[in-house]
Chain A
Amino acid sequence: MNEGRKEIIQLTFIVVGIIFLIKLFFIQVIDSKYRELADSNAILPKVDYPIRGLIYDRNGKLIVYNTPEFDLQIVKNEVKNLDTAAFCDVFSKTRQELKQLFKDLKAKREYSPVKPTVFISKLSELDFARIQDRIDEFPGFYIQARSTRAYRSKAMANALGYVSEISKQRLDKDDKGIYRQGDYIGQSGIEAFYEDSLRGRGGVRYLLRDVDGIVQGSFDGGKADVLAVPGKNLTTTVSIELQEYGEYLMEGKAGSIICIEPSSGEILAMVSGPSYDPTKLTGKNYSQNFALISNDTNKPLFNRPLMAQYRPGSIFKVAQAMVALQEKVITPETRVPCDRSIIGCHGPHSNEDLRGAITNSCNPYFHNVLRRMLNQGKSNNPFDDTRIGLAEWNRHITSFGFGKPLGIDLPNEKGGLMPSPAFYDRAYGGRPWKFSNIYSIAIGEGENLVVPLQMANFAATVANKGYYIIPHLVKSIGDSGKPLPQYLEKHYTTIDPENFAIAADAMEEVVRSGTGQFRASLKDIVVCGKTGSVQNDARTMRQARPDHSVFIAYAPKENPQIAVSVYVEFSGQGARAAASIASLMIEKYLYGETKRPHIEEYVKRGKFLD
């Protein structure tokens, strides 16, 4: 009786067991959904944003600091019965805007219904104070605090750079996994160059939540937590007072001012005109303001001191003189008649020696000097002879830091151009070239290009009588008290110090009695300078425009404290706009104040062409 029923019962037991194991295999091994759900369920990752390093000026004055900012985050699946009316009221949104926010949310790349996603970003402290008490009314919404940049001074925007959310392209390149979507990153200037030091290290705290969303403590005893490490503070080389003064002088002008302490290469001021208000590129209105600033036809984001490449103009004659002296093709006593048939000149002079030629900026003189330099008779073939001479010239001239980026601690530095034989081979497409083809470089016109920073560095090199330290903006990273190691190293030129002394004497004379005497000379301080007027004729511009006004200088002559280069675009002779500004900067730096209101007024009036 009842045969086989035992077996049926046993089989039922086994089959049920097997069904369970199959079902378990599906939910445990095959389907990864549950694992993800579990992580978001119990573990609440709380991003700990590091405090970005502060930036000080050379005298310890705070320039850039941080101010709290709040993001409203959402975990979509936790949102239950959202009271939209109350929500709109608390967050000052219309229903339409709220709808749009939800639409935007789903479009976000990082959006996940079970993980915190930014819903409204960049709430101000004021908003936060209002919202904080009522956030509990809206389950699924969280406030994430972080900090954003704030500025004590409106100056130095281009050198400092700005900070904003990391772009998708940049994020894709981040193979070390340092950044997450929504992280801030330095986008330009010091903020970008010193990003690694300033950033610090972000942290994450993993909190365990129970089913009601109440945090029960840290996950795994906090072992998995990564504490945020604050970024390092930077002390810049800039004197914010001098910087602000420079920006005041440059208002309404395009160009740049760079002041360097020659003995250390420290940049005392670096003005780019026109500039922008750095506070505009922080906080809630970043996107809107960035569009405005980057589309401005005056290009306020273009950092002229190291990105604008100009022909050097007459200030280059000082360098030419030293190269020629070094090559012994001239002596300080060499006189050349001012024969204006090949190349034009200005001012009443006829047969100057080297010092006179620099003082009067005599074009035919330097035309002659370069010919002696390039055609030294080392070959009977004039083409080969020029080639040999140019190679030698290039070796000397690039030892001043021309023709390549100097290596300042800012991104996007341009290197200018110093022609080499290879350059002219390319330019002439293999056709032969000799001195008569390339003589414009003699007076700083022609093919050569420099950036204002290189000219300031050149002035510093003359001040140092033969070497420079790469100009830099940061003198101390963190508590080290030291800049990056490359900014402690002296770079010697190929020119002997006695030749620098001759150049220094000539530059002193420029300010004492030459082109610079009216606006660049200071009482009680010996200023050495050189004017320049970079031509903007129909050959290089679409239409002829006024020259760029250029001036380089250093002071005092003995034990120099400051070297300056000033470029003011389309403002005529160097002796006017640039020389005035340079001397005011020197005066301001050395005395702490300026005592020549008429010069300052002249600069502010800005009518340099009359």
Chain B
Amino acid sequence: MRQEQNITQKIDWVTVGLYMAIVFMGWLNIFAVTYHQGENQSIFDLSLNSGRQLMFIVTSGILVAAILIIDRQFYETFAYIIYGFILFLLLLVPIIGKEVGGNKAWLGIGSFGVQPSEFAKFATVLVVAKFIGSIGFRMDNLRNQAVLFALIGAPMLLILLQKDYGTAMVFLVFLIVFYREGMSPFLILIGLGAAAIFILTLLVENTWILYIGIGVIWAVAILMNRRKKLKTMILITAGAIALVLMISSVDIVFNLLEDHHQRRIVSMLNPDSDPLGYGWNVTQSKIAIGSGGFFGKGFLEGTQTKFNFVPEQSTDFIFCTIGEEHGWIGSLFTIALFIALLLRVVFLAERQKNRFARVYGYSVACIFFFHFAVNIGMTVGLFPVIGIPLPFFSYGGSSLWGFTILLFIFLKLDAHRMQVLQRL
């Protein structure tokens, strides 16, 4: 009982304040999207997204209370079980899931659907933290690394099967956590390089240019290798062959896709190529944000984020409403809130006494960061359109609950940081 009395004193209120500010702003913006002039709508109306979001916020509060009451050891203890349960749900989705917006990612519970993929993040964070936090874990051990990749790879693959590419990509962000915990940065660089080549293959019309480029680089590398060491030469050649194979496989797979899928992927990477077709989303999103100017049009005064000019207005493109109605100043404020939250979580993670909690904290920060970066990046046209929500901001129960669980488990761990054995 003593613990429970203390939780309100020990919890990090700065983070809670930032969380509440972001959730509240998100709620107001969801109302702004649904608001129609002259219809006398109420933000509390349950038939509107804003009313339902309020319900999700209230239930999040209940979740928070539950998380704070549940013993901190529960999460560490049951990490694998929770992870296994979520993987099971992910397996179920393609079989009994219902289709929403082209993706089969939902499990129906009564009239509400939930997306197991949203909770997969939380489960994966738990197992990764548990594994890295386990006694005798060493990052430089190849077996350990393989296990880590398997842990993030499994949910990623299952989510890819649901064609929810955006959520699947979130799991790549664990690489940053691994990096923090001592993994060689080269692994991250190789990952980034592979992604770059993948994108390049799709953007360059004639892949022969890439082959020739690789050939040239290979030749130069061989010639530069003055000492003619056989091992180096083999390595360079192997690298070149790997690149060629990768490009051609991407090329072949891409060409196997149907025409409209091809176009979708290309326009995802280069929205300007088709402003009225598949690039529409980004173009409209930029118009909406750009029309806000410095000070914005004012709360509820937006014209672009209503009437479906911008797709997924209250979920993936919610940031457009900020940009349009509150202008650059509003964007600055919103971005500052998110950065403050991220830095605060990293700060909290660094003060943890055990590795489990620290890895957990970093994972939370990185997942938030990935969502924040990709979501706002796509709305302003810096990233391809990948449909993932803005944490706490976008409309939707699953995502709000998922992010809330992620954050508050960490706050619970942080509140009890002094009680754990040092196990760094």
Contacts and interface: CB of A to CB of B under 8 A. Distances in A.
B216 to A, nearest CB: 32
Interface string A550-564: 000000000000000
B377 interface: yes
Contacts of B92: none
Interface string B289-305: 11111100000000110
A16 B289 contact: no
Given A10-B346, A28-B328, A38-B287, A17 B336 contact: yes
Given A21-B332, A217-B37, A221-B38, A28 B346 contact: no
Interface in A193-233: 208-212, 216-217, 219-221
Contact of A42 (B286, B303, B365, B381): B303
Contacts of A16: 369, 372-373, 377
B37 A10 contact: no
Nearest to B373: A16
A144 B51 CA distance: 41
A35 B293 contact: yes
A476 interface: no
Interface stretch (B18-26, B93-101, B107-115, B175-183): B175-183
Contact of B380 (A6, A9, A27, A220): A27
Nearest to B293: A28
B303 A28 contact: no
Contact of A80 (B276, B289, B377): B276
A6 to B, nearest CB: 6
B342 interface: yes
B290 A20 contact: no
Contact of A2 (B182, B276, B366): B182
B389 interface: no
B335 A35 contact: no
A14 B291 contact: no
A209 B332 CA distance: 30
A290 B179 CA distance: 82
B323 interface: yes
Contacts of B373: 16
Contacts of A216: 36, 307
Q: Number of contact residues on B: which range applies?
A: 35 or more
Contact of B181 (A2, A39, A43): A2
A383 to B, nearest CB: 78
B287 A9 contact: no
Contacts of B308: 210-212
B211 interface: no
Given A5-B180, A35-B291, A24 B304 contact: no
A211 B331 contact: no
Contacts of A13: 339, 342-343, 346, 365, 369
A212 B284 CA distance: 13
B323 A24 contact: yes
Contact of A20 (B293, B346, B377): B377
Nearest to B310: A211
Contacts of A38: 287-288, 290-291, 303-304, 324
A370 to B, nearest CB: 78
A13 B365 CA distance: 10
B376 interface: yes
A212 B381 CA distance: 23
Interface in B265-299: 276, 284, 286-294
A578 to B, nearest CB: 69
A280 to B, nearest CB: 44
Nearest to B346: A10
A37 B287 contact: yes
Contact of B328 (A24, A33, A42, A210): A24
A73 interface: no
A35 B339 CA distance: 28
B37 A41 contact: no
A411 B180 CA distance: 87
B27 interface: no
A33 to B, nearest CB: 7
A41 B287 contact: yes
Given A6-B350, A24-B328, A220-B37, A33 B290 contact: yes
B318 to A, nearest CB: 15
A130 to B, nearest CB: 30
Given A20-B380, A80-B276, A28 B180 contact: no
A23 B380 CA distance: 7
Contact of B307 (A28, A29, A208): A208
B339 A14 contact: yes
A125 B162 CA distance: 57
Nearest to B176: A9
Interface of A: 1-2, 5-6, 9-10, 12-14, 16-17, 19-21, 23-25, 27-29, 31, 33-35, 37-39, 41-43, 80, 208-212, 216-217, 219-221
Given A2-B182, A38-B291, 5 more contacts: A13-B346, A16-B373, A21-B328, A24-B328, A211-B308
20 contacts: A2-B180, A9-B346, A13-B339, A14-B339, A17-B336, A17-B338, A17-B339, A23-B381, A24-B331, A28-B328, A29-B328, A37-B287, A38-B324, A41-B287, A41-B303, A41-B309, A80-B276, A211-B307, A211-B309, A220-B37
Interface of B: 36-38, 176, 179-182, 276, 284, 286-294, 303-304, 306-309, 323-324, 327-328, 331-332, 335-336, 338-339, 342-343, 346, 350, 362, 365-366, 369, 372-373, 376-377, 380-382
Lowest 6 A-B CB distances belong to which pairs? Answer: A34-B290, A38-B291, A210-B307, A42-B303, A27-B290, A221-B38
